[in-house]
Amino acid sequence: MNKVLLICFSAFACCFPFFSSAQINLKLAPLSPGANTFGVYAKVCDNITPSGNTITGSGQVTIKFPANANLNSLVSHAGLWAQNATIASPSEAAAHTYVSFGFVSDSPQIIYQPDSETLLFTFKLVNTATTPVLIENGVDPFDHLPNSVNSNPGNELTVLDFGVQPLGLYTYAGNYAGNATICSETPQDTTTVINPPIDTTNNTDTTVIDTTNNTDTTVIDTTTQGGGGDTTVIDTTQGGGDTTVINSPNDTTQQTSGVFDLSGDGKHFTLYPTPAFEWVMVEFLEKDANGGSIRLFTFNGVPIGEMGRAGRGSIKLNVSGLSSGLYILSYEKDGQVMQRSKFLKQ
């Protein structure tokens, strides 16, 4: 698994109001009856409606098949996948070979739709008439750690949905056959957090996302013991509400809290790829516009750098030196924020 991304997503989710739902299922099936090409599919439950603004953060799929068979011809269809580990005839299941496929990036983006399967990747299996199977987490004899080869088999998928409120966090629920997914009875929570709770922790950072319309939000950080915590407010109100941040008198930190309006005043540029590895490209929609600059921030508002536009139609930013995580790119001109967009650095 991509543990760096998984840790990043877990830390990010802990900082924001979100609903968590184990509502993604996986299936392994032949592309056609009797064929030796197999596909791995993902399907969400009918009681959630993911938006198109999702980022798949981590994933792993582990299959097993007879030890005399050979696997080849891996092709990614949604997301980029790689064959990470092949374990032949472990002592726990000597008659089988285990292969773990790891999620590399969300490009092409994995689109999740209710009552619809998404083909993630395909592969071929030769020298056997036996159908490969997805292992069952915690049930398969090889998936009891530590195992004989100290490997980490198992299935996992974690998706962050920025297009719903509160923030959506979808996780792997189990395997399915046919169209019968494993779903809980809990419907998607579509409520909006208007009055965030008071933070009474010691030396803890507080982050609040205000997604209300024309609503005032007050955040009171009562952290104590001098070291204090930083407070970050991301204001995505439409039409605007006032945001007040009150830090405890005991908070002596000098870091500036970030207040971001992610909407800006319109669409002025596109940003790709995201997730990014080495670079991101900013393509301006107004090709002949002069002035303005691009500013880069961490997701909690700490400025990283700035570059003037100088009439260019596009700017390529080298982000290879950045740590994995979420960042904000802001286009500012004549003292105004024209647009802010987020991207994920892997």
Q: What is the pLDDT of residue 184?
A: 55
Q: Is the peptide bond before 108 cis (omega within 30 degrees of 0)?
A: yes
Q: How wide is the angle at C-alpha 342 spanned by C-alphas 338 and 343, nearest 5°?
A: 135
Sign of the dihedral through C-alpha 136, 142, 147, 149 = negative
pLDDT tens sequence across 68-83: 999 999 999 999 999 9
CA dist., res. 221 & res. 59, Å (int):
36
221's enclosing H/E stretch is: strand 217-221
Strand order, beta sheet including 303-308: 303-308, 293-298, 325-333, 336-345
pLDDT tens sequence across 232-263: 444 434 444 433 333 333 333 333 333 344 44
- Structure tokens that stand for 209 in this block: 């996302």
pLDDT tens sequence across 25-49: 999 999 988 889 999 999 998 788 8
pLDDT tens sequence across 154-188: 999 988 888 887 778 888 999 998 777 766 544 43
Q: Residue 115 carries which side chain, given as an amino acid letter?
A: D
CA dist., res. 285 & res. 51, Å (int):
24
252 backbone dihedrals φ, ψ, rounded to 5°? -100, 10
235 neighbors 214 (Cβ within 8 angstroms): no
228 neighbors 201 (Cβ within 8 angstroms): no
52 neighbors 32 (Cβ within 8 angstroms): no
Helices of type H across the chain: 3-15
Give residue for tokens 């005991």: 250
Number of Cα atoms under 13 Å in the Cβ half of residue 264: 18
- Report CA Rg, the chain: 23
